[in-house]
Structure formats: structure tokens, C-alpha cells
Amino acid sequence: GVGSSGLSFNFYDESCPQLENIVRAGVGSLFLADPTTPAALLRLMFHDCQVQGCDASILLDPDAEKTHYSEITSSKNFGIRKRNSISLIKSIVEAVCPGQVSCADILVLSAREGVALSGGPGISVPLGRRDSSNPPDFRLADTLIPPADIGVDGVLQLFSENGMTVEETVAILGAHTLGITHCLSLESRTNATNPAFANTLKMSCRLPLGFVQNDLTPLLFDNHYFVNSMSGGGVLRIDAEMALDSRTRALVHKFADDEEAFFRAFSSAFVKLSSSNVLTGNEGVIRSNCKAAY
């Protein structure tokens, strides 16, 4: 087991030895069709793990009668994409190893593959998560997913709850080396003082659904996010503030200088984020359909 999480690195060795190869091939072909897939999968994992732990709760479709029992309808999940990709990969896994593998593990493995395919570290992740059978109220997601304008105090508090050090907290935010942010998420940033960033906002946000890249290389998992943050180009408040706050500044510099150090700290943070507060053993279920709890 890994710490006290109840997960292990050889969980599917007997019940589904093909699992990691299936997920790798699946994410690979989704990537060929759409190279922004890894960004979406990584954020999807974060938002799942943030609400009731990594239990695939975010994959549940709204129930026609009880629409508030669906976290996906929370406004905090604005811009979440590729939920269906997990169902696709799950259906291949089900054909090979029926009833064995949770949607929650497939989601974490898919995010891991996305990071590796984008040039990031190859992360060993412990497995054995179970899926929730109780869909959370969207208000739980409203409360537990951080607001777009959270600052350094807020994130240090948030990730210390997952047992992360300050270094791991700075590193996990390096996930913003991938992907985009819609202008709708940047309403609190319109008074940004960096002239280059203010100009980017002005040009990119002429359309209501406009967006900006999270760094200069949004398809590459590299340390450019930290270089960008140091030069005043941080997109969200946290991306900008991390380079200025005395508790985090030295780490932003370190990761901007040393990509290997970023990859190491990101990998251990990824494992902590994806292992805390999970269902294991006889808790929860193995869903056959990731979109439905029953």
C-alpha cells in the first residue's frame, strides 16, 4: 500500500494486466484527434479528486428528476471537457476485463498518460480506487473547487489538506503549463498591470467565449509556466501571485531554472492529489457505466 491510502502499485496485476496499455493507446488516439486532450484530462482529474476524493463523481450525468445531484452543473466546472473520453476508454477496458476496473482509476491513469504524452514526467500511480454510488450535490462542488481568483494563502491551505508541502503545492499548479483559460474565468483580471498581459487579454477577449493560453506552450508539459509567471505573464491571480509571494517565489525561480526539479515535485504532488480521501476495498462500487451510479 501507499501510505495509509489503501492503494497499491500492483492492484490490477492479476485482474487486468492489460489496463495501462489500453489506457495509453486510448489516450494516444484521442490525442491524435485533439492535442488539447491532455489538458482537459488533467483538469478533469483535479476537479473529480477535489469533490469526495477521486471517485469518478464528476462523470455522473445529471439525473432527470434530481438535477441538483450532479456536480457537473456547478459553475465551478465551467470549461470542463472530455468526460466522454473516460467512458470511451472504460468501454474498451470493460471488453477486456469486465467488472474489474473503476472509472476513478481510469480517470487518474488517463490524466497520467496525458502528462507523459505532452512531454511531462512518467508518473507511477497507485491504483485500487472505487467509484462512488452516491452522486454529490452540485453545491458541494461549488464549495470545494477553488474560485478562479484564489490567492497564495488559499492554495497553501487547500493543498496542505492533501498533505502537500509548499514545494509540491507550487509544482501542482504547474499543471497550468497545459491548456487555456476562457475570458469568462478572467473577469477579476481585467485590472492586470503587466502591459504585455493586459494586451493579450484585450486581443483575445473580444469574443464572449474568447480564451488565452495558460503559457506560451499550451500543448507542451514543460516549465514555461514558471518562466511566464516570473516575467509577469501569469494568467490567473494565483499564476501571477506565486512569483511575488515570499513563501513561493524561490520555488517558482527554482522550477523555472530546473525542469527536472519541477517534474519530480509535480510527480509526488500528483500522487498525493490523486490518493487522498479515496474509496478502497469494499467501499463504493465498480461502475459498469461511468455516467450512471446504478
User: How many binding residues for Ca ion (CB under 5 A)?
Assistant: 11
List the grid coordinates of 204.
Answer: 483575445
**Options 57, 228, 229, 280; binder of Ca ion; rule CB under 5 A:** 57
Which of the choices Ca ion, ligand HEM, none does residue 201 contact, using the CB cut-off of 5 to 8 A by kind?
none
Task: Indicate the residue among 48 and 259 with the shorter CB distance to Ca ion.
Answer: 48
List the grid coordinates of 28.
Answer: 494516444
Bind-site residues for Ca(2+): 48, 51, 53, 55, 57, 177, 215, 217, 222
Binding footprint of ligand HEM on the chain (CB under 6 A)? 36, 39-40, 42-43, 46, 79, 81, 146, 148, 150, 155, 158, 172-173, 175-176, 178-182, 185, 214, 236, 238
CB neighbour list of residue 136: distance below 8 Å, 6 or more residues apart: 51, 52, 57, 69, 71
Task: Indicate the residue among 45 and 93 with the shorter CB distance to ligand HEM.
Answer: 45
Greatest extent of the chain over all pairs of C-alpha atoms, in Å: 57
Q: Binding to Ca ion by residue 171, rule CB under 5 A?
A: no
Task: Indicate the residue among 178 and 227 with the shorter CB distance to ligand HEM.
Answer: 178
Q: How far is the CB of 52 from ligand HEM (least distance, A)?
A: 16
Q: Which residue has the cell 488565452?
A: 212
Task: Indicate the residue among 68 and 182 with the shorter CB distance to ligand HEM.
Answer: 182
Whole-number Å distance between alpha carbons of 245 and 241: 6
Whole-number Å distance between alpha carbons of 187 and 227: 24
Residues annotated as catalytic are 47
Bind-site residues: 48, 51, 53, 55, 57, 146, 176-177, 215, 217, 222
Q: How far is the CB of 16 from ligand HEM (least distance, A)?
A: 25
Whole-number Å distance between alpha carbons of 193 and 187: 14
Task: Indicate the residue among 70 and 217 with the shorter CB distance to Ca ion.
Answer: 217
Q: Binding to Ca ion by residue 269, rule CB under 5 A?
A: no
261 in Cβ contact with 224 (< 8 Å): no
Which of the choices Ca ion, ligand HEM, none does residue 164 contact, using the CB cut-off of 5 to 8 A by kind?
none
Q: How far is the CB of 108 from ligand HEM (least distance, A)?
A: 11
Whole-number Å distance between alpha carbons of 252 and 157: 18
Of the candidates 294, 290, 289, 259, the residue with the CA atom closest to the CA atom of residue 121: 259
- The single-letter code of the amino acid at 212 is V
Which of the choices ligand HEM, Ca ion, none does residue 51 contact, using the CB cut-off of 5 to 8 A by kind?
Ca ion
Which of the choices ligand HEM, Ca ion, none does residue 215 contact, using the CB cut-off of 5 to 8 A by kind?
Ca ion
Which of the choices Ca ion, ligand HEM, none does residue 275 contact, using the CB cut-off of 5 to 8 A by kind?
none
Residues 172 to 231 in contact with Ca ion, rule: CB under 5 A: 177, 215, 217, 220, 222, 224
Of the candidates 80, 283, 246, the residue with the CA atom closest to the CA atom of residue 179: 80
CB neighbour list of residue 36: distance below 8 Å, 6 or more residues apart: 179, 180, 218, 219
Q: Which residue has the cell 531554472?
A: 257
List the grid coordinates of 159.
Answer: 493543498
Helix pair 103-117, 259-275: axis angle to 10 deg: 170
Residues forming the site for Ca ion (CB under 5 A): 48, 51-52, 55, 57, 177, 215, 217, 220, 222, 224
